[in-house]
Structure 1
Amino acid sequence: MDPLPFLLQPPVFYPIIPYACTIFGGLRPGRMILIQGSAGISATRFQIDFQCGCSTRPRSDIAFHFNPRFSSSDAHVICNTLRKDHWLDELKFSGAPLKKGETFVLLFLFLPDKVKVSIGGHHFLDFTYRLPLKDVDAVGLYGDVTIKELSFLSSNPLKSGSADLQKTPLSKTFPMGLSECQVIAVRGLVTANPDELTLQLKSSDSIPFKLTANFQDQTLSYNSFISQSWGQPQNVQTPFFLFYPERFFEILLLPEAGLFKLAINGTPVNDYRPLVFDLKSIEELQITGSAGLFVVQC
């Protein structure tokens, strides 16, 4: 089985600026990058560079340089390309809906011949490539800016009614049961006013694994339903709550000998060891609650 469609780069939360990271597999038509953040209260500029590598000496080529600049009256965006350490002719886009000290949501959609950029869910500019898209394999964030989230997507979370979005409750069956190291991947978008999101593995008479994200008290917990009764919930240890309204999430669940391993948004969390562990008896994955789903893969 080709692993590439199965893998999706986890989001990055609150990176220290300046920040640069590799784009797993590089950019390709149809891929999107979502950036949420805020410009500094006294910012004059910041920039997002889609680069051909992360080298600083010599400096990597920059296929798409996105550079908001703030004046006393308004904001504009400068776009350009750096090739062999020389800038090409810059393009200026006036009237950017960006303000110092306020949050923003940027979505970059990469097409075969150009990149389309929306700000706050509204299209703002198109930029035709001057370097091949296939050479872009890194993104850099610089300047007076705070980035809350950098997400790498294959579906547009700002597009309502997307054909890719599946509603909950949703279930997947396992005619032959589960097996060790059979990874379960769930990727989706939390609703605007979430209450609770649950993921559970069921057999005919038990639920050996249940994950609950409670948005009211911002807790994550494990539990099992064995011998006709629920056990004592076990808190999932995380540095902060890993789900947010109207934001993308990824859950990876991996069964191993006697336990379940879990990662949320690329962050590994503590394992869960149910009292009864029989993978072959598990017949169904069930997802319910406050989310739309892009991918459910088992």
Structure 2
Amino acid sequence: MAFLPAPGYQPAYNPPIPYTTAIAGGLRVGMAVFIQALVPSPHNRFEINFSTGQYDGSDIAFHLNARYDGRDRVAFNSYQGGSWMEEELKKDMPFKPGKVFQLVFEITKGNFQVTVNASPFHEFAHRIPLERVQWLQVKGDITIQALCVIASGPGTGGPKGGSLLMSAPQGDLLPMLGPPIINPILPFVANIRGGMIPKRTVVVKGLVSSSAKSFIINFKVGFSNDIALHINVRMNKSLVIRNSFLNGAWGEEEKDLPKSPFKQGDFFDLSVRSGEQNFKVYVNGQHCFNFKHRLQNLQQIDTLDVTGDLKLCFVHF
């Protein structure tokens, strides 16, 4: 069962490098780009570009260039009218070869805010209007495990201008409602606006602690604390327990899986989509399990609750 992302969420897993993708709807305030990657050996440099076009020579609104040449540093710049503009340099090198890192670009009204491993790294003021930025490019000595372009809904413009074109199945899905919540602290509790009605998707991106014993993700009814879907990942037993807690009592556990997709010290992204009959749960783009609805009023399922031995990278509704 293939995972079809909802409008406003563009994931890619293990893409080949160089990698170029259109930013669905164009770049806009409130968006974020999450990259989970590592620098292989040997290595010299890699770059990430927010570009106005997909081909060489296009203007680049924001260029991040990590250089490994004995004077390891990260350069930031823009490319306009065939020339590079004034370069900004950071002598700190947070991208350690062979070690997985988390790189996040948040798009604000005034700048690109760059975070590495949940720590602020650099702010780069806009030099080119955001509406011109339609493409994301990754080149050089980098191995991407996951790349996610995250936004509110499908946007208003596509890479060739005009309205965004989606496939018919994707057009049937509800768009993501709000900007992503980046690096939230635990325990995490948030309202799901409108509830888990059919075709609604919730995405949780996290890093399992290296000594993790368990973590829990609950989809709840806010006013009663009933749990429509309880996901309990038990690392010591490699189990993913699913259950519900309704009217003061736990239901029957479901735990059959060929293999747990969660490992200590590893990143994951978990997508939960509500269907007419069940929740469909995907991990890292692969179908993991379905859970039949035990609470039929799906609109009442309006609260997400996350606790346990993990660090949240982002949550997106």
Alpha-carbon distance, 1:49 to partner: 1.0
| 1:31 corresponds to | 31
| 2:74 corresponds to | 77
TM-score (norm 2): 0.65
The CA distance in 2 between the partners of 1:104 and 1:16, in whole Å, is: 18
- Is the Cα–Cα contact under 8 Å of residues 187 and 250 in structure 1 kept in the other structure? yes
| 2:279 corresponds to | 260
Relative to structure 2, which stretch is displaced further, 87-96 or 229-238?
A: 229-238
The CA distance in 2 between the partners of 1:102 and 1:111, in whole Å, is: 29
Alpha-carbon displacement from aligned partner over 1:207-232 (angstroms, at most 9, x marks no partner): 77543333334443444679x77546
TM-score (norm 1): 0.68
The CA distance in 2 between the partners of 1:105 and 1:246, in whole Å, is: 12
Give 1 or 2 for the bigger CA radius of gyration: 1
The CA distance in 2 between the partners of 1:124 and 1:186, in whole Å, is: 25
Please provide the CA RMSD for this pair. 4.4
Q: 1:128 aligns with which of 122, 125, 137?
A: 125
- Is the Cα–Cα contact under 8 Å of residues 201 and 282 in structure 1 kept in the other structure? no
Alpha-carbon distance, 1:91 to partner: 1.2
Aligned CA distance change for structure 1 residues 138 and 245 (closer, same or farther; 3 Å): farther
The CA distance in 2 between the partners of 1:282 and 1:81, in whole Å, is: 46
Alpha-carbon displacement from aligned partner over 1:102-128 (angstroms, at most 9, x marks no partner): 444333233333323344444444433
- Is the Cα–Cα contact under 8 Å of residues 268 and 283 in structure 2 kept in the other structure? no
Aligned CA distance change for structure 1 residues 244 and 51 (closer, same or farther; 3 Å): farther
Aligned CA distance change for structure 1 residues 134 and 248 (closer, same or farther; 3 Å): farther
1:196 aligns with 2:215: yes
Correspondences of 1:1-298 after superposition (within 5 Å): 8-53=8-53, 55-56=54-55, 59-71=57-69, 73-83=70-80, 86-97=82-93, 98-152=95-149, 154-155=179-180, 157-158=182-183, 167-168=187-188, 181=198, 183=200, 185=202, 187=204, 189=206, 192=209, 194=212, 195-199=214-218, 209-223=229-243, 230-231=251-252, 233-236=254-257, 240-241=261-262, 249-256=269-276, 258-264=277-283, 266-273=285-292, 279-280=296-297, 287=305, 289-290=307-308
Give the gaps of 5 or more residues in structure 1: 1-5
Alpha-carbon displacement from aligned partner over 1:219-270 (angstroms, at most 9, x marks no partner): 43444679x77546243567943x87695745323131x4333344554444
- Is the Cα–Cα contact under 8 Å of residues 51 and 58 in structure 2 kept in the other structure? yes
Alpha-carbon distance, 1:44 to partner: 1.1
Give the gaps of 5 or more residues in structure 2: 1-5, 151-178
- Is the Cα–Cα contact under 8 Å of residues 243 and 250 in structure 2 kept in the other structure? no
Alpha-carbon displacement from aligned partner over 1:139-170 (angstroms, at most 9, x marks no partner): 11111111233244545645xxx6xx573577
Alpha-carbon displacement from aligned partner over 1:23-49 (angstroms, at most 9, x marks no partner): 333322343323232222221111111
Aligned CA distance change for structure 1 residues 166 and 49 (closer, same or farther; 3 Å): same
Equivalences, count: 275
The CA distance in 2 between the partners of 1:48 and 1:121, in whole Å, is: 18
SS of equivalent to 1:252: strand
The CA distance in 2 between the partners of 1:281 and 1:132, in whole Å, is: 41
- Is the Cα–Cα contact under 8 Å of residues 39 and 98 in structure 2 kept in the other structure? yes
The CA distance in 2 between the partners of 1:169 and 1:249, in whole Å, is: 18
Letter in 2 for 1:93: L
The CA distance in 2 between the partners of 1:130 and 1:78, in whole Å, is: 16
- Is the Cα–Cα contact under 8 Å of residues 63 and 136 in structure 1 kept in the other structure? yes
- Is the Cα–Cα contact under 8 Å of residues 113 and 129 in structure 1 kept in the other structure? yes
